[in-house]
Amino acid sequence: MSWTRRAVLGSSLAGLLAGVSARGASVGKRRLILVYADGGWDTSYVFDPKPGGATVEGPEVDQDIDNPDDVEALRSFGNLTVQVNPARRPAATQYFERWARRTAVVNGLFVGAIGHPQARARVLTGVVGTGQLGPDLAHIAGAAHAEGLPIGCVDLSGFSSSGSLAPTAIQLGARGQLGALLDDGVQIRPRPDGSPPMLWLPDDDDLAALSAHRLARTEALRVRRGTGHDRSGQRLDDLVVATERSDALRARGEAFTELVVPGIEPSMSNQVDMALALLAGDVCQSVFMDTGLNWDTHVDTASQHTYFETLFKELDRMVGDLQSLSMLDDTLVVVISEMTRTPTRNSKGGKDHWPHTSAMLIGGGTAGGQVLGHTDAWLQALPVDLDSGLPDAGGDKLTYASFAAGVLERLDVDPGDWLAGVRPWRAGCS
Amino acid sequence: MLSRMLVGLLIAGSGCGGGPVPVLAPERVFLSEIEHLVRASVAVRGTRPSLDELSQVEADPDALPALVDVWLQSPEFGETIRDLHAEMLLVRADTLPQFPALGALAGLSLAEVHASVSEEPLRLAEDIVLSDRPYTEILTADWMWADRTLAKIYGLPFDPDGPVLQLSWWTDGRPAAGLLSSSELFHRHASNGNNFHRGRANLIASTFLCDDISQRPIEIVDPPVVTEVDEVTEAIATNPACGGCHQALEPIASFLWGYKPVLPNKVMNSFLLGDCEEVEFNLELLPAGAGFAEDVCYPLRLYSPAEERVWEELGLPHPALYGSPGERVSDLGALIIDDPRFAACSARRFYAYLTQVDPEGVDPGLASALGQDLVDSGYSVRSLVRQVVLSDTFRTARGDGSDPDAGLLTVRPEQYARTIEALTRFRWIVEDTVGCGTKCWGAVDLARSDVFGFRALSGGSDGIRRTSPTHTATPTKLLAMTRFAAEAADFAVLDGVLLDGTITDRTAVRVQIGALRRRVLQASDDPDAPQVDALLALFDDAVARRGDPAAGWKLVLTALLTDPEMIHP
């Protein structure tokens, strides 16, 4: 894997040296917005309806018989059929009315784990792990096409995994702390009561001098230690890349820093604004964001209505803005959660963990208007043809690894570099 | 010793077929004695060596082992042990809701509350290691350390006229089991309700035995439709796909039923705001065992001996660790210690922390050998740490490809904060006191916080979303370090710490830069060294632009505090 990493870091560096104002060779490479729903959504509420209740207690259980509008129903948008409820989840209906033709729903994605960190690692990186994880899809795609951009991937959520690509990526911080680092006007450290404010902070000239000094010292250290491609050499490579990217970010960070409010945990709405600004401002190639909601409804499954409503309301806005900015064709939006919920409800009216999930692919490279993959009566993944997404008893189960490899392929990244031997999921490519 | 072992492992794994294949491997190069001094000091204490320690090693290149022995008894090593266990137990999660600063805690800041509860299990580990007691006591100890706040939260024995930290113990009848008796461990990892302590069981197995049960493959065929507890219990017991994990998890979880559910903060808030005079719960919404005033009002009671055998009522398996039966959580601690994986897993975690590698990636043979050394030393962590930091792997400057764990380290945010404070006396503190009412955080250490600060952005773990550190330079780490260093430099020059910010005489400037290089980077203090020329150019440039020598000194000090050798000891 190390050769891949060096190649990625090296090509990015070359682009940076050519100037941050031009995107260079990465122009035309598909961007990625990865939207992560943390905690495990209930796929039966929208993506994977199981009407009838024989095996799956879906959203129909929550219907209020006194409310004539509170009706769960299947609705087809072209060839895309999902579960809707005009009273509880109107935004989902509105979303599919507008964007079904740009959206592919993927059901029957086998995760094979029911612990949150374990399942999260699998769906986001395509590999098994919980410790120091490898890079997730957003970081791989970001680093691969970051030439000419300050940053490969920006994580607005804190859930991402940068792995070996950390020098190409940044994170916002749980309360938007990055904003304070990029804006000298934000006072991090008020002096004790009554004393004057800070007298000195490095200005742009100081920061440029510091970076130049650090880069020169790094090369001197490399020569003195004689480092090559060992761990020490990698650390020094990373230091050079991180220094140059932090400088480039400072030069371009105003594209989104005005949207960052240090001290506030960003909602999905805030994150959508920032994601659009970051991509439109050519600050980065990919964005990792989350829904700002905890979908882990062990006690009250009915909360999923509200969560899906928020999700689709913001997705509707985001996809609309991408369209308005003429960015939808070259931006892939992946929406995913680490697992779904058990078919039936527990004694507290909640649902527990189930090792399968669904996803949505929206926009660039997606043949929309269809549902791909399928599940049995208990929401379990069934074999499909990985190229067509159609049921195929002799086919393969769509695994987290195949799905991840397929997403990378859609983003012009050779999945074999990161997921060796994994057959990519090619269904739904436009 | 570590390097010899790795060579042996490589030979063992190279196969026997064919003749030798000539490989032109790069030569391994070791750190100088001074460089090794610096790396070991940062790893063990989180600070760089003092001038006196530097002089000792300059005078006697073999002085390091004796210095390490001294460091291993220092409070700074205790902080390192707390940092290590915080990363392991994920208890320093300040972005999670804190216990409300209401009722008995009225007037306290959330930072004080967080510090008291999150450090509780860490102080026990620190105490055991610093006093060189067998590390097995982290699972058997019948004591803990409490401050006034923790004593109020849990009703612990505490002398109000005594020292800030006092030896104390749990008074709710819970068995003595070291970290397994920790309220904070089970407050942070609130795996209860319908989860029946399974998450906690997996935490225990993965943390102390390096067996992440939840990673086992799951393939459920013909899943049963289960809703009620007894149906779930039967499915777990009879469905082979469920059994792969649950037959290991359930018996461990059965040890933990004495731990009561942790109720959401909003519930505590509402009761505490009402002075807890009339506590009435909707029991239907509460997990089993909850619904008492002591669940929501201080002092909290997080353990109830009467609940220990609830597993029996629910038809869950008898408590056991991989088939070895027990009764109470103290038995679980003893069973873990008896499991040969405990020593190897512990050694793996210490080695991984010190060499900055993924614990899961440590060679099993190496972990096993280090574990045996740990056993042979009477479970002395000090001995283990000494062994690692004096090893060839640790003192490698340039690797030869045979040892992926060798080479430059990356300063952790906690280490950087201690280094900056040791050098400049500066602490990166912000006060959150205006307009926040009962939700004020008070004094927040920006280097160690994720609510307001930059710990995760600097490569640290936030204990909840970023559960493992990043051991390399990143743009956000450099931005945060530069800001931290600049503020420290501002403070140091204004307060006359470390340097005189008024010096302008050329010769004196060179001498002071040389002295700073020696103090900050443990480099030569030669005023005519080329490295001094580079810093002098920075100084001149800043003075020319700002017209103030203090600005020049601040820039020089910032450069030194963000030097590659500071970032990568």
Size of interface A-B (CB pairs under 8 A): 258
In degrees rounded to 5, what are phi and psi of residue B500? Answer: -105, 110
**How crowded is the C-beta side of A117, counted as CA atoms within 13 Å?**
21
Chain A residue with minimum CA distance to B441:
A263
Percentage of chain B exceeding pLDDT 90: 75
Mean of pLDDT values over B214-224: 67
Are B319 and B326 within 8 A, CB to CB? Answer: yes
Distance from CA of A364 to the nearest CA of B (A): 29
- Burial category of A417 from C-beta neighbours within 10 Å (exposed 0-12, middle 13-18, buried 19 and up): middle
In this complex, do A246 and B478 lie within 8 Å of one another by their Cβ atoms?
A: yes
Are A329 and A63 within 8 A, CB to CB? Answer: no
Q: Per residue in B286-345, pLDDT tens?
A: 666 666 778 888 999 899 999 999 999 989 999 999 999 999 999 999 999 999 999 999
Angle at B93 between CA B159 and CA B424, to 5 degrees: 75
In this complex, do A217 and B478 lie within 8 Å of one another by their Cβ atoms?
A: no
Q: Are strands A356-363 and A331-337 parallel, antiparallel or unpaired?
A: antiparallel
Q: Which residues contact A61 (CB under 8 A, 6 or more apart)?
A: A53, A301, A345
Find residues 92-131 of chain A whose CB sits inside 8 Å of chain B: 112-115, 117-118, 128-131
Average pLDDT of chain B, as a whole number: 90
Q: How far apart are CA B192 and CA B190, in angstroms?
A: 6
Mean of pLDDT values over B255-259: 95
Task: Determine the 3-state secondary structure of B3 from DSSP.
Answer: helix
Is the torsion defined by CA of A411, A416, A418, A419 positive or negative?
positive
Q: How far apart are CA B528 and CA B119, in angstroms?
A: 47
Total Cβ atoms within 10 A of residue B164: 7
Measure Cα distances from A325 to A331, A335, B313 in Å: 11, 20, 61
Q: Are strands A370-372 and A103-110 parallel, antiparallel or unpaired?
A: parallel
Which strand (E) or helix (H) includes residue B493? helix B475-495
Are A113 and A119 within 8 A, CB to CB? Answer: yes
Total Cβ atoms within 10 A of residue B168: 19
Mean of pLDDT values over B432-441: 83
What amino acid occupies position B360?
E
Q: Are strands A396-397 and B29-30 parallel, antiparallel or unpaired?
A: unpaired
Q: Per residue in B50-96, pLDDT tens?
A: 999 999 999 999 999 999 999 999 999 999 999 999 999 999 999 99
In degrees rounded to 5, what are phi and psi of residue B406? Answer: -95, 145
DSSP-derived letter for residue B233 is H
Task: Determine the 3-state secondary structure of A33 from DSSP.
Answer: strand
Are B31 and B397 within 8 A, CB to CB? Answer: yes
| Statement: residue B23 has pLDDT above 60 | no
Give residue B228's pLDDT band: very low, low, confident or very high (50, 70, 90): low
Give residue B432's pLDDT band: very low, low, confident or very high (50, 70, 90): confident
Q: How far apart are CA A85 and CA A198, in angstroms?
A: 56
Residue A20's pLDDT is 37
Q: Is ipTM beyond 0.85?
A: yes
Residue A3's pLDDT is 33
Residue B276's pLDDT is 80
How much of chain A is helix, strand and coil, in % rounded to 5?
A: 40, 15, 45
Residue B430's pLDDT is 85
The token duo for A92 is 């989902």
DSSP-derived letter for residue A375 is B
Residue B225's pLDDT is 54
Q: Per residue in B109-163, pLDDT tens?
A: 999 999 999 999 999 999 999 999 999 999 999 999 999 999 999 999 999 999 9
Residue A262's pLDDT is 80
In this complex, do B429 and A239 lie within 8 Å of one another by their Cβ atoms?
A: no
Measure Cα distances from A87 to A65, A70, B100, B289, B407 in Å: 12, 5, 37, 37, 60
- Burial category of B4 from C-beta neighbours within 10 Å (exposed 0-12, middle 13-18, buried 19 and up): exposed
Measure Cα distances from B517 to A126, A206, B200, B395, B490 in Å: 46, 19, 49, 22, 18
| Closest residue by Cα to residue A327 from A276, A268, A271, A259 | A276
Q: How far apart are CA A365 and CA A218, in angstroms?
A: 41
| Statement: residue B185 has pLDDT above 60 | yes
Task: Determine the 3-state secondary structure of A31 from DSSP.
Answer: strand
First and final CA of chain A: distance in angstroms?
30
Hey, which bits of A260-369 come out as E strands? 284-290, 331-337, 340-341, 353-354, 356-363
In degrees rounded to 5, what are phi and psi of residue A30? Answer: -70, 135
The token duo for B408 is 């430059």
Distance from CA of B531 to the nearest CA of A (A): 9
Q: How far apart are CA A377 and CA A373, in angstroms?
A: 14
Candidate from B397, B479, B489 with C-beta closest to A225: B397
Judging contacts by C-beta atoms under 8 Å, the chain B residues touching residue A132 are 358, 360-361, 468-469, 471
Chain B residue with minimum CA distance to A193:
B431
Residue with the larger pLDDT of the pair B229 and A418: A418
Give residue B9's pLDDT band: very low, low, confident or very high (50, 70, 90): very low
Residue B437's pLDDT is 82
Find residues 426-465 of chain B whose CB sits inside 8 Å of chain A: 428-431, 446, 450-454, 456-457, 462, 465
Interface test with A, best of B230, B314, B396, B408 (most A CBs within 10 A): B408
Residue with the larger pLDDT of the pair B370 and B268: B370
Residue A19's pLDDT is 38
Find residues 347-386 of chain A whose CB sits inside 8 Å of chain B: 347-348, 350, 352, 355, 378, 380
Total Cβ atoms within 10 A of residue B273: 12
Distance from CA of A76 to the nearest CA of B (A): 29
In this complex, do B218 and A112 lie within 8 Å of one another by their Cβ atoms?
A: yes
Q: Looking up tokens 């005489």, which residue turns up?
A: B505
Helix axes B240-253, B229-238, angle to 10 degrees: 110
Chain A residue with minimum CA distance to B411:
A235
pTM value is 0.92
**Can you spell out the DSSP letters for B378-431?**
TS-HHHHHHHHHTSTTTTEEE--SS-TT-S-----HHHHHHHHHHHH----EEE
Q: How far apart are CA B84 and CA B89, in angstroms?
A: 9
| Closest residue by Cα to residue A362 from A354, A350, A370 | A370
What amino acid occupies position A22?
A
Q: Mean pLDDT per 10-residue run, chain A (430 residues)?
A: 43 40 58 98 98 91 93 97 97 98 98 92 91 91 95 97 97 93 67 52 94 97 85 95 96 84 90 96 96 94 97 98 97 98 89 95 96 95 95 95 97 96 94
Q: How far apart are CA B78 and CA B264, in angstroms?
A: 32
Q: How far apart are CA B47 and CA B421, in angstroms?
A: 9
Q: Which residues contact B488 (CB under 8 A, 6 or more apart)?
A: B420, B423, B424, B426, B428, B557, B561
Q: Per residue in B492-551, pLDDT tens?
A: 999 898 999 999 999 999 999 999 999 999 999 999 999 999 999 999 999 999 999 999
Judging contacts by C-beta atoms under 8 Å, the chain A residues touching residue B479 are 178, 181-182, 246, 249-250
| Statement: residue B370 has pLDDT above 50 | yes
Residue B287's pLDDT is 61
